[in-house]
Structure 1
Amino acid sequence: MSIPLLLEMAVSTDPERIAIASDDVRVTVADIDRMSARGADRIAATGAGHVVYVGTGGVLLPLLIFASARAGLAFTPLNYRLGESALRELIGRLPDPVVIADYEYVGVVEGAGIQTIDSADFLASLETPPLEQPLPEFDGTVAGVAVDPDTVAVVLFTSGTTSRPKAVELTHGNLTNYVMGTVDFASADPDDAVLICVPPYHIAGVGAALTNLFAGRRMVYLRQFEPVAWVRLVGEERITTATVVPTMLDRIVAVIEAEEATLPTLRNLAYGGAKVPLPLVRRTLELLPHVGLVNAYGLTETSSTITILTPQDHRDALGADEPAIARRLGSVGRPVPGVELQIRDESGDVVPVGETGELFIRGPQVSGKYSDIGSVLDADGWFPTKDVASFDTDGYLYIGGRSDDTIIRGGENISPAEVEDVLVEHPQVRSVAVIGVDDVEWGQAMTAVVVPRAGTDPDPEELRAFVRGRLRGSRTPDRVVFRDDLPTTPTGKLLRRVLVAELRPVRAE
């Protein structure tokens, strides 16, 4: 199955339904169909081999996804926050790209591809001739050739938090299997509306455009996240569903507390992209008791979500007296349909329940292929995530961070997440990152980088004693330092390498 056929299914059900609201623009399902067909014609006329977008998204993101697919080309949205040299380097890794860019980025990327088009001009060209003019119905073919599910539809660059960004290839089959495996077609209520504020270059942005159109939910775009605007839009647009990353959730909760907002229309709030501190999850549940929280875990290479902690899971865990159930609030839930998970030790053997190892994933939505590397799937189709994980007896998955982040202190492997989960529960700690820095005696010393709660002045020794009282002594940080904020990517992923560089010992010449 191909991406354009998802759109055709939506058109066949309710073509005049408002599908997208972005700023003052309102677009129906039929408009997306007609405009993406014209977009495909314009893209094809450039002779390009790839479509690139640099900008903040909104209505353009779904249109470009479908227009590129109809033109038979792969689509890549790039991180508009990158500097000129980084953007040009990424564009240069793609074959003969046409670059569509928002006005403020046109000058930055001019000449990087075979042609650069202002996004406003591109959008205007899709609106003329009049939208009422009929177009031939798309039949799942491009230039008379059926779209192969194995054809690459979207290429996304990883954030590159530890190394050179990799170009992840997602096929039509990967993405449509994800959509159809996690969403029921036309299942949304007529008044359902989703607020989308994740960046267009993130897999969550691509997934949101496809799944919400397929479900029949009106998509409201907030192109530049700002928490006061987010809370306002929930009220004005009568938002029922939203997805945020941890840094967004923290700021939204602060606004809700300050304004005593209740968000009465909101029914579901999904969070993911990085680990969310449990005190923040509990506070969100307290402030919004009528809202179902969803923790969604996934990777770019898996076409987005692979496990979900449901609203009922959250409620059960929050009110549980039994420790095993209460602990689930810190899990990422259980697998979505069609996805298989394994946890393996360093020898490649599957570990028993409760033991920690590396998470492997298999399923039709899993790509595991990179433009510059090729496939990294093993002989049986399993993708190595590099995430440290474990299962409990009921199949709930717990993520312990990246295997590369493991601290080796005195020959003992220590997961930063284990220490972070304890420290963040201290009443004076807002957020924390635990890292290993080079040490002559221990190989690596453990440093806790703490962001204090507003109005507090925590004592480092008190924080160390807090950890020592809950974990064995070897898990106690050797040092505690303080910072106003932790460095993160725009999608909330912690940039540990920045902290390691800041705290690396200065060597004598």
Structure 2
Amino acid sequence: MSISLLLEMAQDAGPDRTAVVSDDLRLTTAELSALADGGAGVIAASGARHVAYVGAGGAMLPLLLFASARAAVPVTPLNYRLSADGLRALLDRLPDPLVVVDDEYRDAVGDGYRTIGSAEFLDAARTAEPAAEFADPDAVGVVLFTSGTTSKPKAVELSHANLTSYIMGTVEFASAEPDDAALICVPPYHIAGVSAALSNLYAGRKMVYLTQFDAGRWVDLVTGEGVTSATVVPTMLDRIVSVLETRGTTLPTLRTLAYGGSKVPLPLVRKALSLLPAVGFVNAYGLTETSSTIAVLTPDDHRAALAASDEAAIRRLGSVGQPVPGIEVEIRADDGTVLGAGETGELFVRGEQVSGKYTDIGSVLDEQGWFPTKDVAFLDEEGYLFIGGRSDDTIIRGGENIAPAEIEDVLVEHPHVRDCAVVGADDPEWGQIIVAVVVAQPGTEPDVEDLRSHVRSQLRGSRTPDRVVFRDELPTNATGKVLRRELVDELNQDPSPAQPAV
């Protein structure tokens, strides 16, 4: 089915319910649907074969998702933080697009494209001749570019069937309480932003948008709008925790807080749980190619891990939980052998929500429909999934493969470490050496040898960082993923000698 049917169902169930709050704009479900019909008319009249959106999101994201669907034209939200050259390089890869752009990014888009301002599009949608065409379920509904931190971004094609199978398989229709509200601050060009718009509407939950993240403003919106659920990335969670500690504030309406996008340090998770004991925490893991979440660590899982005395159960706080309905997972060795519990290999996933298809490349699913995630992972005896990072991040030191996450999990537990990233830097003797990039806890001055000894006491000597360097913060993208390539490039300009590993 087309994603536009999700809006139609939501309108039928509650036409007068507030669907979107974005700054001063408030739309009911019926008003959003009417605008989507008019927006589809604007798109159809343009003759464009694709819609691109360059902007910070808010109400424009759900509007363009549904308007494009009703015009049977794919839509691509683009990373507005890119340079003008980077932005245009992506626009040039889209077929004959209509570019909808927020005013502040018009100069970056430049000339040479069929362009309409976001406010102008909204006004036109109010008066345009409506269009409502049901797209083929197998047609491409959304195209998202991967972050491209190490190579040219890939254009991931998500069909209407991929997206609706995810929503209908993981969300109960009209299940929200009348006062439920979701605070959305993830960027529109990320799969989490797309899935938040679709899933909250389908559940019947008011969507409150915060387009420019500020931790103090986030806390104020939770209180002012009676927010009951929210999704954040690690850097956001860290700043929110700091505000909560400083203000001594509680968030009495908040019932669920999901975090994901990249790995969250366990000390931060434990601190957040202690500050918000009544909140149900959710760790959600997914990929663009899988239409969002494929595994979830539920609130009950969090509480069980915190209360457990068994080491295996305690460890599950660092997992991403168990697969969502409709998703199958396998861990495979390099030769394709399916591995058992506790054995580390590459994660493969399969299900209706999994696309695995790229523009100009085609499908990378194998003959049985399995998608290679490129993530290193293992399953424990109870089926909990542990992610060990990207296979591309593996450090090969003297012929030995070393997973950075293994060292990071130990290092971040040191009382003087706030955050860290472990990467491989070029070395003429070892091929690569292990470099720990550390963000210190405020008011501390960690000793390098103490940090190295801390790692050596818990892991094999070959896992001891060869170098430890300090930074005020780690470079991350908008979803909190550490830009490891930036660190590696920087470190390779400063080839200091390695310290002895033992």
Establish whether TM, by shorter chain, passes 0.5: yes
Counterpart of 2:215 in structure 1 is: 227
- Aligned partners of 1:179, 1:118: CA distance in 2, in Å? 30
Q: Deviation at 1:478?
A: 0.9
* In 1: Cα distance, 2:400 partner to 2:12 partner: 59
Q: Which amino acid aligns with 1:56?
A: A
- Paired residue type of 2:120: D
The worse-fitting range, judged by mean Cα deviation, of 432-441 and 297-306 is 432-441
Structure 2 residues without counterparts, runs of 5 or longer: 497-502
Match of 1:121 in 2: 120
Deviation at 1:127, TM superposition (A): 2.9
Contact 2:41-2:125 within 8 A present in 1 as well:
no
Q: What per-residue deviation string (whole Å, max 9, x for no partner) do you get for residues 136-170 of structure 1? A: 9x5xxx2xxx5211100000000001111000000
Q: CA deviation at 1:106?
A: 1.6
Once the two structures are superposed, residues 328-368 of structure 1 have per-residue CA deviations (whole angstroms, 9 ceiling, x without a partner) of 00000000000000000000110111000000010000000
Task: Please state if 1:25 is matched with 2:13.
Answer: no
Other structure's SS at 1:105 match: helix
Which letter maps to 1:109?
V
| Shift of residue 456, structure 1, vs aligned partner | 0.4
Map 1:422-501 to 2 at 5 A. 422-501=410-489
Kindly state the Cα deviation for residue 110 of structure 1 after the two structures are TM-superposed. 3.1
**Following superposition of structure 1 onto structure 2, how do residues 54-65 of structure 1 map, counting pairs within 5 Å?**
54-65=54-65
Alignment-derived partner of residue 68 in structure 2? 68
Aligned equivalents of 2:416, 2:441: Cα separation in 1: 5
Q: Given that residues 92 and 112 in structure 1 are in contact (C-alpha distance below 8 angstroms), is that contact kept between their aligned partners in structure 2?
A: no
- Measured in 1, the distance between the counterparts of 2:416 and 2:286 equals 31
Residue 194 of structure 2 corresponds to 206
Partner of 1:263: 251
Query: What SS does the aligned partner of 2:122 have?
Result: helix
Paired AA for residue 360 in structure 2: D
1:158 maps onto 2:146 in alignment: yes
Q: Unpaired segments of 5 or more residues in structure 1?
A: none
1:13-162 matches, within 5 Å, as: 13-113=13-113, 115-128=114-127, 142=133, 146-162=134-150
**Partners in 1 of 2:174 and 2:236 — Cα distance?**
29
- How big is the shift at 1:505? 5.1
Determine the C-alpha separation between the residues in 2 that align with 1:454 and 1:8: 51
Deviation of the 1:506 alpha carbon: 5.6
Are 1:375 and 2:328 counterparts?
Answer: no
1:353 to 341, 349, 353: 341
Match of 1:311, as an amino acid? Answer: P
Aligned to 1:410: 398
Whether the 8 Å CA contact 1:170–1:303 is kept in 2: the answer is yes
SS of 2:426's equivalent? Answer: strand
Cα distance in 1, alignment partners of residues 329 and 2 from structure 2:
26
What is the TM-score of this pair, normalised by structure 2? 0.97
Cα deviations across residues 306-341 of structure 1 (Å, max 9, x unaligned)? 000000000010111110100000000000000000
Give a deviation string over 1:406-454, Cα, whole Å, max 9, x none.
1111211110000000000000000011111112222211111100010
Letter in 1 for 2:39: G
Task: Give the deviation of 1:135 after TM superposition.
Answer: 6.7
Runs of 4+ in 1 over 4 A off after TM superposition: 505-508
How far apart in 2 are the matches of 1:421 and 1:432?
A: 9
Check if 1:420 corresponds to 2:419: no
Q: Secondary structure at the match of 1:181?
A: helix
Relative to 1, partners in 2 of residues 1:135 and 1:64: Cα closer, same or farther, differing over 3 Å?
closer
Q: Deviations over 1:448-491 (max 9, x none)?
A: 11000101000000000000111111111111111111111111
SS in 2 for 1:16: coil
SS in 1 for 2:182: strand
Aligned to 1:184: 172
Q: Tell me if the contact between 1:3 and 1:172 (Cα under 8 Å) persists in the aligned partners.
A: yes
Match of 1:294 among 273, 282, 285: 282
In the aligned structure 2, how far is the partner of 1:182 from the partner of 1:64? 23
- The residue type paired with residue 25 of structure 1 is L
Contact 1:79 1:201 in 2 (8 A): yes
When residues 135 and 246 of structure 1 are mapped into structure 2, their CA distance, relative to the original with a 3 A threshold, is same
Q: Are 1:386 and 2:374 matched, yes or no?
A: yes
**Aligned mates of 1:224, 1:166 — CA distance in 2:** 26
What letter matches 1:317 in structure 2? Answer: A
Question: Partners of 1:109 and 1:446 in 2: how far apart?
Answer: 41
Residue type at the aligned position of 2:347: L
Amino acid at match of 1:82: L
In the alignment, the residues of structure 2 paired with residue 120 and residue 264 of structure 1 have an alpha-carbon distance, to the nearest angstrom, of 35
> How much has 1:493 moved relative to structure 2?
0.6
